[in-house]
Structure 1
Amino acid sequence: MHNFRKLTIWKNSMLLAKEVYLTTSTFPKEEKFGLVSQMNRCSVSVPSNIAEGSSRSSNKEFAHFIKISIGSLFELETQLTLSNEVGIISTEALDTLTTKIITLQKMLLRFLKTLE
């Protein structure tokens, strides 16, 4: 069993989720139940799955939750890209968040290798 609070991947995913929440707070009101809701759920899914997986009794089970976190990051990147393409966020904001997402994906993949 791992202490998720001490994991850098959890800390970084919490920071990313906070940044996504701050970014989506500027979205148009008509996106509240569309992109905003979906992006916020994706971003919070990452640290939540890391935390849940850390409570499991085996590395194999933990690895499953890390894979879900990675999937959520790909989903989030897609939604950010769409938000940029429809003019809701700037290319600069997209690039900043995408860089953080890719960095976290790589960290999760390295961590996953230690579990398998």
Structure 2
Amino acid sequence: MQLTKKDVSNPREQEVYKRALRFRRDIYAIVKDFPKIEKYNMCDQMRRASASVPANFSEGYRNHYYGKERDRLNTALGSTAEIQAFLDMAIMENYISEEQYRKLDDDAEVIFGILLARIKEIDKVLEKEGQGEEE
């Protein structure tokens, strides 16, 4: 049996959600200046991954089950890491400036840290209740 949450509140009130939305906006803005060759490659992937972070956070946060929230947060973590890999490629190809890279990478690290902290909180709740990792 899956462990249910006592409360399911609005993700829009959470700082990580707000940060993730701003991060998505910033990613969308920088890829507009990438070369045409990247339009259906790196640009699309960066847009999708950046949109995945707030979307998966929201879906998980609004879920009634801790295990489902954890799963969605883990997906958001992966998307954040994916964006960081694309930022590494973008700086290597000189598509973005060092300043843009630093800002976006720092933003990604903050988001990653907040998501990971929430996953660890959920792990403690599940461990305490003897649920372990849920399917």
Using structure 2 for the length normalisation, give the TM-score: 0.82
- 1:85 equivalent in alignment to 2:84: no
Distance 2:108 2:9 in 1: 23
- 1:13 equivalent in alignment to 2:15: no
> What displacement does 1:27 show?
1.0
Give the length in aligned residue pairs: 116
Distance 1:54 1:2 in 2: 7
- 1:57 equivalent in alignment to 2:64: yes
Amino acid at match of 1:83: A
Q: What do residues 81-115 of structure 1 show as CA deviations (whole Å, max 9, x unaligned)?
A: 10110111112211111011001111111122222
**Who is 2:113 aligned against?**
106
Amino acid at match of 1:42: A
**Who is 2:10 aligned against?**
3
Return 5+ residue gaps in structure 2 as ranges: 1-7, 124-135
| RMSD (Å), alpha carbons | 1.0
Amino acid at match of 2:107: K
- 1:66 equivalent in alignment to 2:66: no
Asked which structure has the greater CA Rg, the reply is 2
Distance 1:46 1:9 in 2: 10
**Who is 2:47 aligned against?**
40
Q: Which has the higher helix share?
A: 1
**Who is 2:103 aligned against?**
96
Distance 2:33 2:112 in 1: 25
Stretch moving more, 78-87 or 1-10: 1-10
> What displacement does 1:57 show?
1.4
Using structure 1 for the length normalisation, give the TM-score: 0.94
Distance 2:18 2:77 in 1: 15
